[in-house]
Amino acid sequence: MSHRALAPFLLLSALLLSACGFQLRGTAALPFDTIYVPGATGGIALDLKRNIQSGTKTAVVDTPAKTDAVLEFTQEQREKIILSLAATGRVREYQLRYRVGFRVHDGKGRDWIPPGEIQLTRDISFNDSDVLAKETEEQLLYRDMQFDMVQQVMRRLAAAQPAKPVVQFAGGHGFTSANSMILTIKNRPPVLSSMAAVRASSAVS
């Protein structure tokens, strides 16, 4: 069997390992002892909760009453846009986009990480004669982006600075000294692509 034929299966195996929390406990140090993740019943919130529990010494608590930090997600959005067309007018390539907005605060109006968002993208070729294989590849790429997003957020949690007091001005407006962030990462290779030995974008061609 060729490397290209094996690619989807290798990538799927790698992602299943990551989804099972294949990481030693206590390998990342977060600047807070406890954290609360509201709505962690699915999606990236649940993945982050599991990652923090298995990969750090920070305790995930079930209530914001007695926690050092609150990891709050403001959005989680998937998009699929047309990237290019063939001469016949049929779609030749799509771009998959995965956008997550989040904020980390102390529950008292002070931010550890100000509101911001991260966007990941992957390009995927399309062949209408092989729709099922392309749908499988698309789902694998979205899952890979979600895993990559978890690692991106974890790095920002590890680098979080102590909550800064809100500066108040006349009229009741205020802000912290940190600015919001928007980060776009385009076509980053799958995090575990070294295990799969191929790029996800060429998994089915």
Lowest mean pLDDT among 13-17, 22-26, 110-114: 22-26
What pTM did the predictor assign? 0.69
Alpha-carbon distances, residue 13 vs 8, 140, 154, 180 (angstroms): 9, 10, 22, 36
User: Is residue 26 pLDDT above 50, yes or no?
Assistant: no
Per-residue model confidence (pLDDT) at position 124: 95
Confidence of residue 177 (pLDDT cuts 50, 70, 90): very low
User: Is residue 17 pLDDT above 60, yes or no?
Assistant: no
> Averaged over 58-77, what is the pLDDT?
94
> Averaged over 107-125, what is the pLDDT?
94
Residues in the chain, overall count: 205
Give residue-wise pLDDT tens across range 119-163.
Answer: 999 999 998 888 999 999 999 999 999 999 999 999 999 999 876
Residue ranges of the domains in the chain?
3-161+177-200
Tokens 């649940």: give the residue. Answer: 46
Per-residue model confidence (pLDDT) at position 172: 53
| Exposure b/e, 160-178, CB count within 10 A at least 16 = b | beebeeeeeeeeeeeebee
Q: What is the CATH number of domain 3-161+177-200?
A: 3.30.160.150
1 versus 118: the higher-pLDDT residue is 118
> Averaged over 21-25, what is the pLDDT?
43
Per-residue model confidence (pLDDT) at position 170: 55
142 versus 1: the higher-pLDDT residue is 142
Q: Are strands 69-85 and 34-36 parallel, antiparallel or unpaired?
A: parallel
User: Is residue 98 pLDDT above 90, yes or no?
Assistant: yes
User: Is residue 101 pLDDT above 60, yes or no?
Assistant: yes
User: Is residue 204 pLDDT above 70, yes or no?
Assistant: no
Contact 94, 80 (CB under 8 A): yes
Rounded CA-CA distance 34/67 in Å is: 5
Q: What is the mean pLDDT of the chain?
A: 79
